[in-house]
Chain A
C-alpha cells in the first residue's frame, strides 16, 4: 500500500506516494526523476547510490525513503546551484577522475562529506572516505588525486 511521504531533496520539498519498503534511491529515481544516484549492487557494497543525509554520506539502497523524512537529502544535482561547478566537480574534470561515470555521483558526494568535515585531509583520509565506493574504471588513483586537489582549492576559497 502506497503512503504519502514528505521529502526534502536539494532544498526543495516533495510529496510522493510510495510503498513503505521503497528505498531512498528507488524513490529518488523512480518517483522524483532525480537520477544522478545510481543503483548497482543493492547490497550496500558499491556506493553508486551514495547521497548526503544532513551532510553525511549514506548509501541510498540501505536507507528507506521514509527514514529520510525530516532530513535534508542532497544528490549530485544539488551540488552546484547556479553557474559554477563545485571545486570537487572541477577537480574531477581536470584530473580525469571520470571514465564511465556510473560511480561518479557517489564518489563526489563521499568526497564532499569528507571535505566538509576535514579541510586538510591526508591521502589516507581520502582513501577511507571513498573505501565504500567501488570504481571499476579508474583504479582510484586519479579520483584520490582529484579529491586532494579539490581540498586545496576549497581551502583557498575559504
Chain B
C-alpha cells in the first residue's frame, strides 16, 4: 500500500461528476426519516445526567454537600470536581478550561460544578436542586474594554501565565502584561505612520457587535460507556472524532487504544459542535459509575454551553488619497471572550481580521486583535470565526471612506480591490483570485446604480460588502478508499457530515476517479474504530483537505486494481482505465473485465481486498508573531461579495431585506447546487444575526436563552425565492482540488456591512452596532433627523 499526496496541477478536461449539481448522497436517508442522529439511539437501562451549575458569575467554591442528593431515590452517583483531572483544555489559543472547576473557582453563571446521574433525567434534575454549594462571591466584570483596562480590579485567570497553548495554537500570542487578555494577534505590514502622513483624508470609526448564537437545530447530546476491556466510548452529536479522541486521551491520561469516539449525522454545527467540555463531563460520569450515561442539554443549557460568538468592539482608521487610494489602515479589535476561550475564541484575535485581510491592496497595515476574559459565559467559534465581526467594521468603513471622498462605494472598492500578485495584510502573495469579479457580479445582480423607489414611510437602499477567507491548514487528512467486488466504491473518512454536504463531495470525487455514478459510492464515517485520521469539519478545510486525500486514496486503489487486472488481462497497468465497475484497456476498450472477476481470481492466491490510502498535508512557512507576516499562511483565498437591497420604515425603524445578490469566487465549484445552498443559508443566518439576534446577558445571566426570545429568522424574514441570486465567478485555482476553493465559513462575513450600507443608502443613517434592531434603527433615524 502506498501513500500519496496530491494537489492537482491540471484541470481534468472531461469531468463527469465533479462540477455538477449532483443530488446529495444523504438526502434519501433524511427525507425518509431513516437518518440517525445521536439522540435517536436509546438503550435500555441507560442512566441520565444533569449538571449542577453556578448561579454566580465569579466565585470561589467553599463546599459542596451532596448528601441529600445522593440519598434521593433513583440517584446513582454524583461526579465532583475532586473526581476530575487538573488538566486544562483548549484548542487553538489557550488551554484555560478544566472539565469541572478543580481550581475551586467558577467564572460564569451556568458553569458546571457537578454531574448528577440518575435513572431518569427528571430524577437527576430534581436531585440537582438538592446539591448545596457554598460560595464566596468575587467581584465580576462583564465589559471587554473594562476588563482590558490596566485599572481593572478583577483578574479572572490569575494563573493564566501558567496555561499552555492548544494544539493548533501557533498564531496567537499570550499577553502576560494585561491581566484579563486571553490572547493577542498582531499585523504589521509596511509603515502605517508614514502611510497616514501621506494621506489626504483620515477616516476613523468605532463599531460594535453583539454576542450571537449558532442556533443549530440539534442540541448537545452525548452518551458514554466503558467496554469490558476498559475502553472509554463516547458517542456524541459533535464533530471531530479524532480530535475528541486525542483530547479525551490527554484529559484522562488514557492510551490511544482505550478511547473510541463515535458520531452520526449532525443536526447543524456552524462552529458550535467542536468543543470537548461536554464530552469530558459525560465521560467522567461513565468512568466513575461504569454505566452507560447520557447527558443532554435543554435548549437553555445549550446557550450556557454553546461557546457562542463573542461580542466585539472595533476601532478602525483609514488613510486615503484624494484619488481614492487607501494608503494605510489601523485597527484595534477587542472580543468579549467570557470566562473561558479554550472553545475556540482565543484564536479570534487573529480570525476577526480573516475576512478583510486580502480584499484590498493596502500597503501599510497595523492591527491588534485581543480576546478579553470577562465573567460572561464562555465563547467559541461560529461560522467565519469572528471574521463577520471584523468585516462588519471594515466594510462599513469602506462606505464611510467612499462617502468622505465623494466616491461611489462600488467605484471606491474597485479602485482598491486586490489583484493577482498583490500581497495581503499577512504578506502572502495572492494568486488565482477573483474578488473584482465577485463584487462586480454582486453589484450587477442587485442592479447597482439603479435607485429603487420607496413607498410612503418605506425608503429603499442598496449596499455592498466583500470578503475573503483563508482555509485553515490546521491538520492533515487521511482517507481510505476500498474497492468492493460488486463495483461499489467505499470511502472512509474521519471527519463529519454536519449538513454541509461533505459526504456528497467525497462521493463525487471518488465517483469521478472511477467513472461511476455517486449512487455506487458508499461513504463511511463517524467512528474512530473504522474511519481514518482526520481533524474536523472546521475552517472550510474539508473539501480541500479531506477531498484531496480522497482523490489520492482513490488513485492508490485504482493503481492496485490496475496491477491486478493487468496481470489477469496480460496488459501493463499503465494501459488500463476504469468505468462502471469494469477495468478496460485504453487502446482497446473491448478488452475489459468486471471487478468481480478480479476478486474471484485473486482471492485464490490470497488477495482479498483492495484498500487505497491517501493523505493530504499542508506545510506552513515560518510565521512571525510580531508582524503576522507569513509567506503562505493559507493555502488559498476564496472571495464572496453580497449586494443587499433593503427597505427601512422611517417611522418605526423596521428593516426588511428585499433582495440579496452574491458573487462568489470558489474557483471551479465542485457542486454548484450545494454552494448555492450554503450561501442562501448563510444569507438568512446573517439576516438573523444582523437584524434580530442578540444573546442578552444581564450581570452574566442569560436573559433570552430560548428560541422564543432569541429570535432567529423564519421564512417570513427571508427574501422571496427569486430575490436571492447566487452566481459563481471564480476562475479555477490550479493548486486546488479540481480547481476548487472552499466556502463554508465565508457565507456570513460580508452581509452585515452590506445591509448597514443599504440602510445608510436608504436613510443617511450610519449604523455602528449590529444587530440593527428596529429600536436601534428608530433611534438612529431620530438622531439623524435632529442633526439635520
Contact A139 B683, beta carbon cutoff 8 Å: yes
- Closest CB-CB distance, B501 to chain A, in whole Å? 7
Tell me the complex Cα distance, A47–B164, Å. 43
Task: Determine whether the beta carbon of B268 is less than 8 Å from that of A137.
Answer: yes
Contact yes or no, B680 A136, CB < 8 A = no
- Determine whether the beta carbon of B299 is less than 8 Å from that of A98: no
Chain A 27-38 per-residue mask, 1 if CB under 8 angstroms from chain B, else 0: 001100101101
Residues of A within 8 A of B720 (CB): 123
Given contacts A80-B32, A93-B24, contact A103 B685 (CB under 8 A): no
Assess A137 versus B218: contact at CB under 8 Å? Given A93-B31, A101-B30. Answer: no
User: Which of B32, B217, B685 contacts A38 (CB under 8 A)?
Assistant: B217
Please state if B712 and A99 are interface contacts (CB–CB under 8 Å).
Answer: no
CA of A140 to CA of B681 in the docked complex: distance in angstroms?
7
B677 near A46 (CB under 8 angstroms)? no
178-224 of chain B: CB within 8 A of chain A: 214-219
CA distance A99 to B36 in the complex (A): 14
Contact A136 B216 (CB under 8 A): yes
Q: Which residues of A contact B678 (CB under 8 A)?
A: 99
A139 near B265: Cβ-Cβ < 8 Å: no
Q: Does A66 make an interface contact (CB < 8 A)?
A: no
Closest to A90 in B: B31
Q: B715 touching A130 by the CB < 8 A rule?
A: yes
The 8 A CB mask of B267-278 against A (1 = contact, 0 = none) is: 111100000000
Separation of A29 and B39 alpha carbons in the complex (Å):
9
Please tell me if the beta carbons of A145 and B721 are within 8 angstroms of each other in the complex: yes
A100 touches B498 (CB 8 A): yes
A40-B299, A127-B715 known; A139 vs B680 contact (CB < 8 Å): yes
In whole Å, how far is A20's beta carbon from the nearest beta carbon of chain B?
Answer: 13
| Given known contacts A38-B218, A136-B215, A142 and B680 CB-to-CB distance under 8 angstroms | yes
B786 interfacial contact with A, CB 8 Å? no
Does A48 lie within 8 Å of B23, measured CB to CB?
no
Which residue from A30, A38, A131 sits with its C-beta under 8 Å from B716? A131
Q: Are B712 and A141 in contact (CB under 8 A)?
A: no
Residues of A near B716 (CB, < 8 A) are 127, 131
Contact A30 B677 (CB under 8 A): no
Contact across chains for A102 and B37 when beta carbons are under 8 A apart:
yes
A72 to chain B, nearest CB (A): 17
| Structural contact, B267 and A139, CB atoms closer than 8 A | no
A57 within 8 A of B: no
Complex alpha-carbon distance, A36 and B682, angstroms: 25
Contacts of B270 in A (CB 8 A): 136
| A104 in the interface (beta carbon within 8 A) | yes
Q: Is the CB of B707 within 8 A of A38?
A: no
Q: How many residues on chain A are close to B (CB under 8 Å)?
A: 53
A85 to B31, CA, bound (A): 9
Cα–Cα distance between A65 and B673 once the two chains are bound (Å): 40
**B708 in the interface, Cβ–Cβ < 8 Å?**
yes
Q: Mark A59-97, 1 if CB is under 8 A from B, else 0.
A: 000000000000000011101100001000100111010
Q: Which residues on the A side are within 8 Å of B714 (C-beta)?
A: 130-134, 140
Q: In the complex, A130→B717 CA distance in Å?
A: 12
The answer to whether B721 touches A141 (Cβ under 8 A) is yes
Within 8 A of A (CB), among B1-58: 21, 23-24, 26-33, 35-37, 39-40, 42
Question: Is A101 touching B35 in the complex (CB atoms < 8 A)?
Answer: yes
Which of A35, A79, A100, A143 sits near B216, CB closer than 8 Å?
A100
CB distance from B504 to the nearest CB of A (A): 10
Q: Which residue of A lies closest to B31 (CB)?
A: A89
Give complex CA distance A138, B29 in Å. 17
Q: Which residue from B29, B217, B674 sits with its C-beta under 8 Å from A103?
A: B217
B30 x A123 contact (CB < 8 A): no
CB atoms of B23 and A36 under 8 A apart = no
A29 to B294, alpha carbons, bound, how many Å?
15
In the assembled complex, A115 has its CB within 8 A of some CB on chain B: no
> In the complex where A38-B217, A99-B499, A104-B30 touch, is A136 in contact with B299 (Cβ < 8 A)?
no
B422 within 8 A of A: no
Residues of B near A104 (CB, < 8 A) are 30-31
Q: Which of B476-515 contact A (CB under 8 A)?
A: 498-501
Q: Is the CB of A134 within 8 A of B677?
A: no
Instruction: Given A42-B299, A77-B33, A132-B714, verify A100-B266 contact (CB < 8 Å).
Output: yes
Residues of B within 8 A of A36 (CB): 32-33
Instruction: Collect the chain B residues with CB atoms within 8 Å of residue A143's CB.
Output: 715
Q: Which A residues touch B685, using CB under 8 A?
A: 136, 139
Q: How far is the CB of A116 from chain B (nearest CB, A)?
A: 18
The residue from B214, B676, B718 contacting A140, defined by CB atoms under 8 A apart: B718
Residues of chain A lying within 8 A (CB to CB) of residue B715: 127, 130-131, 133, 140, 143-144
Bound together, the chains give a CA A61 to CA B768 distance in angstroms of: 39
- In Å, the complex CA distance between A142 and B682 comes to 13
B712 touches A134 (CB 8 A): yes
**When the two chains form their complex, are residues B32 and A89 in contact, meaning their CB atoms are under 8 A apart?**
yes
Q: In the complex, what residues of B have CB within 8 A of residue A92's CB?
A: 27, 31
B27 touches A102 (CB 8 A): no
Cα separation A76 to B214 with both chains bound (whole Å)? 26
Q: Which of B363-393 contact A (CB under 8 A)?
A: none
B356 within 8 A of A: no
| In the bound complex, CA of A30 to CA of B121 (Å) | 12
Whether A9 sits at the interface, judged by CB under 8 Å, is: no
Q: A30-B42, A38-B37, A136-B268 are in contact. Are A98 and B30 (CB under 8 A)?
A: yes
A96 and B40 CA atoms in complex are apart in Å by 24
- Does A3 sit within 8 A of B, measured CB to CB? no
Is the C-beta of A156 less than 8 angstroms from some C-beta in chain B? no
On chain B, the residues within 8 Å of A100 by CB distance are 216-218, 265-269, 498-499
Determine whether the beta carbon of B32 is less than 8 Å from that of A85.
yes
Other 10 A-B pairs with CB < 8 A, given A92-B31, A102-B216, A140-B715: A35-B40, A76-B32, A76-B33, A85-B32, A102-B268, A136-B712, A139-B718, A141-B680, A141-B718, A142-B677
Q: Pull 14 A–B residue pairs with CB atoms less than 8 Å apart, ordered by A.
A: A33-B42, A39-B219, A40-B219, A40-B267, A43-B708, A45-B708, A101-B26, A105-B33, A131-B714, A136-B214, A136-B268, A138-B684, A139-B685, A139-B718
**Which 8 pairs between the two chains have the least Cβ-Cβ distance?**
A100-B499, A36-B33, A102-B267, A101-B30, A139-B684, A139-B680, A76-B33, A45-B707
- Interface set of A (CB-CB < 8 Å, partner B): 29-30, 33, 35-36, 38-46, 48, 75-77, 79-80, 85, 89, 92-94, 96, 98-105, 108, 123, 127, 130-145
